[in-house]
Every structure is written in C-alpha cells, then in structure tokens.
Amino acid sequence: MKTIELGKINNTYAIRIEREDQIIEELKNFADQYLKTSNGYRFAEFNGLGGGIKNYKGYFSQVDAKVKEYAGPAELLKITGNITTIKGKENSFISFVHVHVTFGDKESEDPVKSHRASGFHLVEGTVGLTVELTINTYDKIIERSRDNEGLPLILSSVGIGEEGSDSNKTELDKLRKEKERLEERNEKLEKENTELKNQSSTALQEQIKRLNKALIDANEITQKANETNQQLIARIQVKP
C-alpha cells in the first residue's frame, strides 16, 4: 500500500496519500489494512486537505448521480467522509468509502472572479501533489443497506465480534438454540437427581424404621427370655 502512516495516537491516524495515487483506492487500502475484522470494517471518519488534484470526478446529488469529470488541477480545500461496511456477494463484506470534497480552481483570468469553489461526492481523483488526512477509528461496525431507491444508507451499528450480518445472526441463533437445549437438559438432570436423592432418603428412612422395630422386638424377646430364666432359677432353688 502506498499510503504512508505518519503516526498513530490511540485510534487516530495521520496519513498522506502520495502523488499519482488514487484517493478512493488508497482509502480502501487503508480500510483493508487497519479496519478489517471478521464481521466487517470498523467505522472510521476522516478529514483533510490537499493540492494538485487532477482527473477527478464526482456527482452533486445521489438522486440522479450524474458523474462529471474534471481535468484539474485543483486545490483540495476540504475532504471529509467515513468508512462503513456493506454486504457484498455471498454474504461477504466490503468497505464503503463515502467522500465529500470541496475544490478550489481557476474559473477565468479575470482577477475579480478568477477562482471558484465547488463541492460534491467524490468518485475518484488522482493526487497531483499531496492529500493529508486525519482518520479517527472506532470499535464499532456501521453497516449500510440499500433502500428501495438503491441508496446505500446506514442501517445498524454493532460492536466488534457482535452479530451484524445475516450469516452471523444465523450462527448465533444456532448457538442460542444449542445453549437453550443444554440448559433444558441440565435442568432435567438436576430434577432427576433431586428425585433420586429424595427416593434414596425415603428408602433409607424406611430401612431405619424397620431396623428400629427389629431392635425393639429383639429387646422384648430378650426381656421375656430373662424373665423366664429367672422363674426357672427360682423353681430350682425352691425344690428340697
């Protein structure tokens, strides 16, 4: 990637796009290198300026989206935009670079009205001198979806690793169902275990009762035997 990283503080980058590089292409390269995750691209917003932009093209309104081309060169008075995620083919994710620009160029040789400013959506442009950008990135994925008119509008926001796509939602639904199934199974096993404990406790109590009764019966028999034995001894002692 030809984009130069000048520095990084936390989630903020300062970069320069070099001569003869394409602005949109380099922003997409930046997204691939610094923003791409398994669930899409982390959201980023940027601002900057530049000079000597040539062979640039864009459109003023997304309704008709009539692209106009300009040879330049022009001063890049302001460039601003954001990077989001949009679904591609087969549920893949691609970066969506939305860029607005304000150019200043020479309208005529008349010193009174020699310069003019114009702004629009940038489709692409070649750097003649430099483009300097400050890019702030976030740990959120902003997804876009096309509406009935085909406009790619912001749809939702998810954190890194959270659900955000249909495929991820399907996988998460499967995991949730499996979790619910395991929880139901654990609940059933706990209930059966409690019943077994109760049954074991009841059976043990019954066995203890039987043993106690047997002991009582044995004591009664022993007592009767002792009484009979004493009676016999007394009879023997009475005889002459």
Domain extent listing, the chain: 4-162
pLDDT average, residue stretch 188-211: 77
- Mean pLDDT is highest, among 110-114, 165-169, 183-187, for 183-187
61-95 pLDDT, tens digit each: 666 668 888 887 889 999 999 999 998 877 788 99
- Average pLDDT value over all residues in the chain: 79
- The full DSSP string for the chain is ---EEEEEETTEEEEEEPTT-BHHHHHHHHHHHHTEETTEEEEEEEEEEEEEEEEEEEES-TTT---EEE---EEEEEEEEEEEEEE-GGG-EEEEEEEEEEEEEE--S-SSS-EEEEEEEEEEEE-SSEEEEEEEEEEEEEEEEE-TT--EEEEEEEETTS--SHHHHHHHHHHHHHHHHHHHHHHHHHHHHHHHHHHHHHHHHHHHHHHHHHHHHHHHHHHHHHHHHHHHHHHHHH--
* Residue 43: per-residue pLDDT: 94
Question: Looking at the domain that runs over 4-162, which CATH code has it been given?
Answer: 3.30.1330.80
